[in-house]
Structure 1
Amino acid sequence: MTRGGTTAAAPHGPRPMTIALVLVLGGVMVSLDTTVVNVAVDRLSQTFDASLATIQWIATGYSLALGAMVPTAAWAVGRFGAKRLYLTAVSAFALGSVLAGLAWDVPSMIAFRVVQGLAGGLVMPAGMTILIRAAKPEELGKLMGTNGLAILVGPLAGPALGGWLIDQVSWRWMFFINLPVGLAILLLAGRLFPADVTGARRSLDVPGLLLLSPGLVALIYGVTRFGDGASGAAPFAWIALGLGLAAAFAVRARFAAHPLIDLRLFRTRAFSAATGTMTVFCAGYFGTMILAPLYFQLVRGESATVAGLLAMPGALASGTAMQVAGRLADRIGPGRIVPVAVAVAASGFALLTALLTADASYWALAGATMLVGAGGGATIMPAMTAATRGVSHDQAPAASTTVNLVTTTMAAVGTASASALLSARLPDGGIKAVHRMSEAAREAAAPALADAFRFTYALPLTLVVAALVPALLIHRRSTEKES
């Protein structure tokens, strides 16, 4: 079996499915932490008497660190080995979780979340590299679907578990919970993952790193400045700086011997179309994760536990669709699945935008979120499969790094954009003003608050619809025909 003309290494030790199941735990640890924080935004804002623009940095700061670290993953895999890197990243993530649980104010929590992000930026690319190297091309879709169970378990258990911990125990335990999970991963991965193979080491592309990582940080920071109420040219200047640095990186990468990201991957239609789809889709899809819990808590007056439970239908639909789509991708090709899945997600967002009133039926909202979840679950993993299928053994780190960079960066951009839009539409004083309202005043303001959320949901709807364009360019061929 060959990939891109290079003979793939025969897997040794445990079966690829066993490796995928262990990687699910790592993905659960990362996604659980993300979804728990989404539910906790309102409570943390009250605890620290902070605005939404400030509190959202607990999520955005993590994403910034994640995005800044992902570009180094391909180099780090070559320098230290995928298994060793994975174990180190999991250890650092667990440590960062404990530190975040011990935070005494918002700045300290943001700092410790950055520690988590720096580690989390290496967990997924290293794990995906291990999986791609162990798998045969014809089984990659099924394994990606299995690996995607983390995107089911985290969003499904995270909001409910996090809400219960926040209401009944302490918000600190939403971070402490990662410690036993991390220890379990270290024990299993240390015993079951195949040993690292010796490969050619290359030097770190330091100039590229100094262009791309600060560029991503500047871009996302510029977007979040709108949520801080910044006016004038400052936010646009940060965004322009970020885009300029990213463009300079792209120009330099064309001539560098070992760039952080191998832009030659984009010469293939499958890779460029799939990553283009994820670029737009992930900004809309993941950018809304912070919105639904806030709607239920601010507009409807629900507790964190109830807000978490109400997120479960969408997460269940996402995970179910992911498993079905992952297996269908091996049979009929990702290109036949992704456009339909994007359209399903768009229909869900359209329904949410129409239904999200102050007294909307929870059953109707659950149906709309299930459409969103099903569309997201059936889009992301097949798109990843389309992007990474057929890459050579040597290209696996670069491919997985690029895919993860796209998803994490665009999730951060989407979250920052959604927070900025919502902050601009909330009453004067923002989320803190809502917290100071009496119950009667909040109920009177509920229609206006609901309108703010409906306005904000128009952004992800637009982005998801736009994702149909590159999705239609993904090849509509099965694995056998592509090989």
Structure 2
Amino acid sequence: MTYRYKVAVVFLLGFFIDCVNIFMSAVALPSIAAQLQVSSASVAWVANAYILGLTLVIPLSTWLAARFGSRQILCASMLLFSLAALLCGLAEDFLWLVFWRLIQGMAGGLLIPLGQALTFNLFQGAQRARISTLVMAVALLAPALSPTLGGAIVDHASWHWVFLASLPLSLLTALLAGCWIGHETPARPARPDLRGLLLLSASLGGLLLGLSLYGSGHAGYQALPGLLAGLLFAALYGRHCRRCPQPIVELRLLKNPRLGLSVGIYHAIPGIFTGVNLLSLFFLQDSLHLSAQHSGQFMLLYALGALLAMLACGRYYNRFGAPRLFAIALVLHSAGIASLCAVDSAADLPLIMLAYLLMGLGGGAGANTAQTTALLDFDGGDTHKASVIWNLNRQMAFSLGAALLLMLNNLLLGWFEVLAAFHLSLLLAALAGLLPLLALGRLNPHKVSHAQHPH
């Protein structure tokens, strides 16, 4: 195996573990909420804490790698991840579980952007489109396998084993990183933008706190300070970024139309789907009384649709161009969400299957096209900076999508019955998923289709 493929294997293993931790833990949330006696909105912090941990560390990963070396950081991240996974599995208190999920997210946040930047710098031109397909294959495999496996673990063992199950892979990734990643002489990079990191972390933390409080039934005046603080810190970071010569997250790169639109697409498709899937898991298990394993198996249909779409996009990306593929993806994904609005009982299983298949087709096409398009214009050091934005946005999309859908559903429960609130939440999510159609004109289809030419 050549060196670049060894680096790619380490990155893809870490990426797989990260995806598994999002989707496998989601299917266990109803059981965690029941055993630890917390609300459905509060238990979402098991996922939110992981995302927040990633957010805290992702911007620092490039600086840490330059200071201590890529191999050392990759090994350390997976060892710390393994320790946190063990302590999550042993947790008997909700607050301790959330704390160790935060640490686990911080550990995972070191590997993903660093591994992606190392890999993409070794694959240029048309090869970069091929490695993007491998990345999306991993992103497809994890959602397909983890909910079914996680549901079986919850049904036949306990939710604790959902976290313990990732230990063998994380330890293997640490071992391979130590053996395969080349040695680098650590440098003494400039001091990182700690002020920017604090502002960015405070912004996301405030938004997640406000959304979760409001979604869990707290009064608006209790949630509003968190939301306002999140928006204020976001504005302060935007001002800081314009003045700082080396900001922790280089927002200027978002002026690139390919990266900027791909970021928005990720919120509209994988982000919204994370919230829709989480809301559906609670509905299927609590209202339709399906088992955790049964409800998790719908992701196999999602995976089938995503696989078909991914193969089609890989073949026709250069011919059709990103704008056309994005439009198809957005329509298919929203059509799948809208199909769930007609689900009333367990007798509607065929309709649920169709919905997940459509969402898979749209999700696979949208995520694969965005992954290929986002970093197309970058190489060298700019790849690291763009990778930080891309991975930070990916995690924020998952977290904000879940928080917004849970908040919206809990708000509607104050006015409607459970079924009506569920349907209306999904209808609004389907409409929101179509909004990026208005921005597709920013891309020149002829230029974007030239994926084989590195800029």
Q: TM-score range by the shorter chain?
A: over 0.9
**Corresponding residue to 1:357 among 323, 344, 349:** 344
Structure 1 residues 416, 466: closer, same or farther in 2, change over 3 A? same
Q: Which moved more, 1:327-336 or 1:364-373?
A: 327-336
Structure 1 position 288 matched with structure 2 position 279? no
The Cα shift of 1:213 comes to 1.0
The Cα shift of 1:339 comes to 2.2
**Corresponding residue to 1:479 among 434, 437, 451:** 451
Mapped partners of 1:94, 1:320: distance in 2: 34
Q: Within 5 Å, which residues of 2 pair with 1:158-237?
A: 158-196=146-184, 201-237=189-225
Aligned to 1:460: 429
| AA aligned opposite 1:466 | L
| AA aligned opposite 2:368 | M
Aligned to 1:6: none
The Cα shift of 1:472 comes to 4.2
Contact 2:11/2:111 (8 A) holds in 1: no
Aligned to 2:383: 396
Contact 1:219/1:238 (8 A) holds in 2: yes
Please list the CA deviations of residues 214-255 of structure 1 after superposition, one character each: whole Å capped at 9, or x if unmatched.
111111111111112122333232212111111111111122
The Cα shift of 1:388 comes to 0.7
Structure 1 residues 93, 331: closer, same or farther in 2, change over 3 A? farther
Structure 1 position 383 matched with structure 2 position 370? yes
Structure 1 residues 426, 45: closer, same or farther in 2, change over 3 A? farther
Question: What SS is found at the alignment partner of 2:381?
Answer: coil
Q: Within 5 Å, which residues of 2 pair with 1:40-51?
A: 40-51=28-39
Contact 2:126/2:452 (8 A) holds in 1: yes
The Cα shift of 1:480 comes to 4.2
| AA aligned opposite 2:418 | L
Contact 1:23/1:147 (8 A) holds in 2: no
Structure 1 position 247 matched with structure 2 position 235? yes
Question: What SS is found at the alignment partner of 2:126?
Answer: helix
Contact 1:138/1:330 (8 A) holds in 2: no
Contact 1:77/1:397 (8 A) holds in 2: no
Mapped partners of 2:60, 2:210: distance in 1: 23
The Cα shift of 1:426 comes to 4.6
Please list the CA deviations of residues 293-352 of structure 1 after superposition, one character each: whole Å capped at 9, or x if unmatched.
212111211111111122221123224423442454356543342222122112212222
Q: Which runs of 5+ in 1 are unaligned?
A: 1-12, 429-446
Mapped partners of 1:65, 1:387: distance in 2: 23
Please list the CA deviations of residues 6-27 of structure 1 after superposition, one character each: whole Å capped at 9, or x if unmatched.
xxxxxxx825445434422212
Q: Within 5 Å, which residues of 2 pair with 1:252-271?
A: 252-271=240-259
Mapped partners of 2:145, 2:81: distance in 1: 19
**Corresponding residue to 2:93 among 105, 112, 118:** 105
Aligned pair count reads 452
Structure 1 residues 20, 289: closer, same or farther in 2, change over 3 A? farther
Question: What SS is found at the alignment partner of 1:147?
Answer: helix
Aligned to 1:89: 77
Structure 1 residues 131, 197: closer, same or farther in 2, change over 3 A? farther
Mapped partners of 1:385, 1:454: distance in 2: 33
Structure 1 residues 356, 26: closer, same or farther in 2, change over 3 A? same
Q: Within 5 Å, which residues of 2 pair with 1:147-158?
A: 147-158=135-146
| AA aligned opposite 2:421 | A
Contact 1:78/1:201 (8 A) holds in 2: yes
Contact 2:68/2:186 (8 A) holds in 1: no
| AA aligned opposite 2:352 | L
| AA aligned opposite 2:392 | L
Aligned to 2:58: 70
Please list the CA deviations of residues 337-378 of structure 1 after superposition, one character each: whole Å capped at 9, or x if unmatched.
22221221122122222x222245212211111111121111
Aligned to 1:53: 41
Q: Within 5 Å, which residues of 2 pair with 1:429-448?
A: 448=417
Contact 1:281/1:463 (8 A) holds in 2: no
Question: What SS is found at the alignment partner of 1:289?
Answer: helix
Structure 1 residues 16, 469: closer, same or farther in 2, change over 3 A? farther
Mapped partners of 1:129, 1:480: distance in 2: 18
Higher helix content, 1 or 2: 2
